[in-house]
Structure 1
Amino acid sequence: MGKRLIYLIGILLTIIIGTYFSYILCCNSESHNENVMTNENTTQKKVYKNPTLYPFNVKDANGDFLLNTNDNFNFEASNLNFLTPISSNLDIEINKLKDFLSVNNNKSLSITGYYTQEEENKSAYPNLGLARANSIKNFLNKKGIPSKVMNTLGELKEDMVADSLHVYHGPLVFSISELKDNPEEMDKLAEYIKAHAIELHFKSGQFEINLNEEQRQEIADIAKYLDKVDGAICIITGHTDNTGDVTTNITLGQNRANSVKEYLIKNAAIPENKIIATSKGESEPIADNNTEEGKAKNRRTIITIK
């Protein structure tokens, strides 16, 4: 075998061996990349939890009355108002509940609204669960169930899960118990509300409302009193400083009072017919209008009851 032939065979073997190892390395690299992508996809994939479903279940603790349907009131996340329309099945059960309570006037209905910590509380109440319960209470009142036989509560439910559209299904619990009429409690509540009237302050020409936690609880107290006492009314009075003329300030005070009224209707579910908004303008200052500090104190809106 000549040297030239041996040389050519060597070159051919080199090409064949190089091609083989190149193929092996390329395939292994692609396979590795696929595994990495699979692992990355697996890592990024979120664990899906089934939404929590609470049925409409109402039971008399001291009797045999029972309502139960899988349908219930549903709420979007961070919302105090339930989604409409409700199902026909739920509407039928609510009519049964109304009939039961109208015959058994010694019974009361408790409504507890659920909420999660991650939800934003846009309501005027201390928590979103209480706001939801009051929203349902107002709906049931329109269906014929008196407000005075209903009690509302809020409860944190951290394990509650919304669906993919961020809707909570039936975040409520209902129960029936004996009605406890306590006029002395309402008298004490009225005294407290009047002694702790809510005072909101505004920047000149503005209407923005921001409640602190104490004021949110006071709103809850007012709503409770309005439910339990026949003829009770929430009074909102707008006041201004003396900037501008008298007529303009009467209008400004009224606009602020109207703004607070609309806020309570929307964010506290207080019925419109239980709120009166009025204005005193600049006529009742509580501080010196010759100073900016005094003017700021005079620009106020008072929320109380009568």
Structure 2
Amino acid sequence: MNRYPNKMKIKEYRTQFIQELTSIYDAGEAESFFYLILEEKKQLKRIDLALRPELDFSEEEIVVWNSILEQLKKEIPIQYLLGKTSFYGLDFEVNESVLIPRPETEELVDWILSTNRIIQESNPETSGLKILDIGTGSGCIAISLAKNIPSSQVYAIDVSERALATANKNAELNNVNVTFINQNILETQDLKQQFDIIVSNPPYVRNLEKEEIKKNVLDNEPHLALFVEDNDALIFYRKIAELAQKNLSEKGQLFFEINQYLGKEMIDLLEKMNFKKIELRKDIYGNDRMISCHCEERSNRI
């Protein structure tokens, strides 16, 4: 895109912005990028531009927009460029140390919340839940649960100190209390306390599936939070399930987001570990994406 010496009408810039991105993104996605940036950088919405077509960008603004455009051409995620995203109706800061929260994970949060509502309705005397989120990243799951179940005590673990720094900022941003713990779950022998809900969206993409991953994800999002070895793709699930056998309360529930290709393997794993009421659910795209289960009666546990 040419570097314009003077101001330029925003509508004209919008047309060129979208044209320059359509070789990489479809026009609808490119347009959505434009309006996301417009709202963040100039506090204008689509309707504002429609009602005031005479609005201009200054020369300085064009420089900023051109810089963002060049980064989008390199397929750097728009969320990282803006430094923020939305998840379950809340705002979250994001950066290269955390995964960008996905809509599928919102479905997992919604499942947990709907389960909690059923418990509360059937037993109004139930006290606040104790919840643990393992591999919290940006904190999106833990913070969304804390926000929507204000009586709960929420804990969150991650191996990355940088991720936890971001998660802490997000807890402050959303005005919730979450206890964040820097811990390698694969090296953990005991969680030290009992939890009513343990949830995890751990690394689950096998190296053999890398070719299915979009370039903007593969080149920018943290591999530590994405990938597992092909020969032991369920390593995190097995370890977390073992800990849940010791640290899940009598009527507690375990929730996972999973690899869409490993639904049957997950059911087999949990059955062999004597978990009960195993339920596999599909996401909005029709893929096996989340699973829940209960521990057996405490007297029968290992």
- What is the TM-score normalised by the length of structure 1? 0.23
- What is the TM-score normalised by the length of structure 2? 0.24
Q: Which has the higher contact order (CA 8 A, sep 6+)?
A: 1
Query: Which has the greater radius of gyration?
Result: 1
